[in-house]
């Protein structure tokens, strides 16, 4: 007779095996249910977050639209330059477009001139019209403004002393054109926001429509008066003796007009001008403010050889999402010889495009005011963009050495990211100037800064 123990043990083993097999499906079901539950919870959380973000964005957009109401219009860029440097451009590249149809949201990270119309106006700059005597003689005009010399009467609040000073007054070229009047107001607000720098043209005050005057229905911006005029005209046309310190030779400057701005200039003075332009542009880039039309025609010089950068090109402002391309108009001269290729191809205007223009300014300086790409001026069908893309560049000007020309080529790199910033441009020019001369320049800049602070109303 066989003992019962083995049979009982066998039944027990079969029972356990059957129990394990029955438990396996139950564990799988539990696992799947847990996974579905977790997935469902995560889905609900995700949908809730998306819904809340949508509500937040909708609210922000409404608030932004109420604060920054912008009309969707085509932007016509009419850029100011001399007629001799104009060149019709390919219509396929230069055309007026408006890519973004949405109202742009303006942020503090955008350059000042891209949000000039939204900047506040400081009423402390307001001038009473009876304190401003505008002369009839006009000494400058752009596409949206004309400039007259004027005499401003200021009263010292502490001493009561009356001071009269020469100033420049800019007003709309066409007093009936509301768009020009708006650009003048934008320029007023932009100059208020930029503040003071000894190498940047400073605002003295303004007369806005807040002060109602019979017979005057437009805005006026009042700036410091720079007696020498634009630097290109001074270099090219006024009589002076130029001392070429690179070759130890002298030559006589232009003799086309009578002027007593300078008796003489030297290579060291050209270094100083280059340094001061980079100094002013470094300040603007830090604000940030993109100039868009940097050229010697927009750099003004005093008799003490201190310069001011002016004309910040508000007519060419664009927003980050609503780019413009310049309208092709045979009757409108464009400063295409100062513009970087990406200004045409991508409608981009940045510090790096200003650096390209700075390189052209160096060409103007060291050629004593010659026009860039002079051989192309009589080629109406020539596309300067294609010319630059092929790798062609301006040749070395007469009064610069190899080191300076190499730096010009550095500024004209087709890859914008490989160009120097204005801090590097400033440091390069600083390295060209002797320690004694640099100390003199810095001392004069401090004096200019003090003068700007004294003439300001605000």
Active site residues: 293
- Give yes or no for a contact between 280 and 309, defined as CB atoms under 8 angstroms apart: yes
Q: Classify burial at 292, counting beta carbons within 10 Å of its beta carbon; exposed 0-12, middle 13-18, buried 19 or more.
A: buried
CA distance linking residue 399 with residue 250, whole number of Å: 11
**Omega before 97 within 30 of 0, i.e. cis:** no
Among residues 284, 117, 287, the alpha carbon closest in space to that of 186 is found at 117
Q: What is the DSSP string of 425-452?
A: HHHHHHHHS-HHHHHHHHHHHHHHHHHH
Edge-to-edge strand list for the sheet holding 264-266: 249-252, 241-244, 264-266
CA distance linking residue 365 with residue 367, whole number of Å: 6
CA distance linking residue 428 with residue 410, whole number of Å: 12
CA distance linking residue 92 with residue 325, whole number of Å: 10
User: What are the contacts of 70-76 at 24+ separation with CB within 8 A?
Assistant: 70/103, 70/104, 70/319, 72/98, 72/101, 72/103, 72/322, 73/98, 74/98, 74/324, 75/316, 75/317, 75/318, 75/324, 76/327
CA distance linking residue 78 with residue 327, whole number of Å: 8
CA distance linking residue 105 with residue 63, whole number of Å: 10
For 342, the enclosing helix (H) or strand (E) is helix 341-345
DSSP 363: H
DSSP-derived 3-state class of residue 282: helix
Q: What is the 3-state secondary structure (H, E, C) of 216-281?
A: ECCCEEEEECCCCCEHHHHHHHCCCEEEECCCCEEEECCCCCCCCCCCEEEHHHHHHHHHHHHHHH
HSE-CB for 314 with a 13 A CA cutoff: 23
């Amino acid at each position: 007779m066989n003992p019962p123990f083995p049979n009982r043990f066998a039944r027990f083993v079969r029972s356990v095996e059957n129990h394990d097999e029955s438990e396996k499906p139950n564990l799988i079901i539990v696992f799947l249910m847990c996974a579905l539950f977790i997935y469902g919870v995560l889905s609900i959380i995700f949908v809730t977050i998306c819904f809340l973000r949508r509500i937040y964005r909708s609210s922000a957009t409404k608030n932004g639209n109420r604060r920054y109401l912008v009309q969707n219009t085509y932007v016509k860029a009419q850029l100011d330059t001399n007629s001799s440097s104009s060149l019709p451009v390919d219509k396929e590249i230069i055309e007026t477009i408006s890519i973004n149809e949405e109202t742009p949201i303006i942020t503090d990270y955008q350059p000042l001139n891209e949000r000039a119309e939204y900047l506040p106006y400081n009423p402390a700059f307001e001038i009473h019209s009876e304190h401003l005597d505008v002369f009839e003689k006009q000494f400058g005009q752009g596409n949206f403004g004309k400039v007259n010399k004027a005499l401003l009467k200021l009263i010292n609040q502490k001493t009561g002393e009356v001071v009269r000073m020469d100033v420049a007054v800019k007003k709309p070229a066409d007093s009936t054109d509301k768009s020009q009047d708006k650009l003048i107001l934008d320029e007023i607000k932009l100059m208020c926001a930029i503040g003071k720098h000894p190498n940047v043209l400073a605002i003295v005050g303004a007369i806005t429509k807040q002060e109602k005057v019979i017979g005057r229905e437009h805005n006026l911006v009042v700036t410091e008066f720079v007696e020498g005029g634009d630097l290109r005209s001074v270099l090219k046309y006024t009589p002076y003796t130029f001392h070429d310190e690179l070759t130890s030779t002298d030559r006589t400057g232009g003799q086309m007009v009578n002027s007593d701005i300078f008796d003489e200039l030297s290579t060291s003075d050209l270094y100083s001008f280059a340094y001061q332009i980079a100094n002013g542009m470094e300040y603007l880039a830090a604000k940030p403010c993109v100039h868009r039309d940097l050229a010697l025609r927009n750099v003004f010089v005093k008799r003490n050889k201190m310069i001011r950068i002016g004309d910040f090109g508000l007519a060419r402002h664009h927003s980050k999402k609503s780019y413009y391309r310049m309208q092709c108009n045979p009757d409108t001269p464009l400063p295409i010889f100062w513009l970087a290729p990406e200004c045409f191809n991508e409608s981009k205007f940045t510090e790096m495009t200003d650096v390209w223009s700075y390189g052209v300014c160096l060409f103007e300086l060291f050629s004593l005011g010659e026009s860039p790409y002079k051989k192309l001026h009589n080629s109406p069908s020539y596309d300067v963009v294609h010319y630059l893309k092929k790798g062609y560049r301006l040749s070395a000007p007469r009064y610069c050495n190899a080191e300076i020309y190499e730096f010009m080529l550095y500024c004209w790199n087709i890859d914008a990211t490989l160009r120097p910033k204005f801090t590097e441009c400033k440091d390069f020019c600083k390295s060209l100037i002797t320690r004694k001369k640099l100390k003199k320049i810095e001392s004069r800049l401090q004096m200019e800064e003090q003068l700007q602070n004294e003439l300001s109303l605000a």
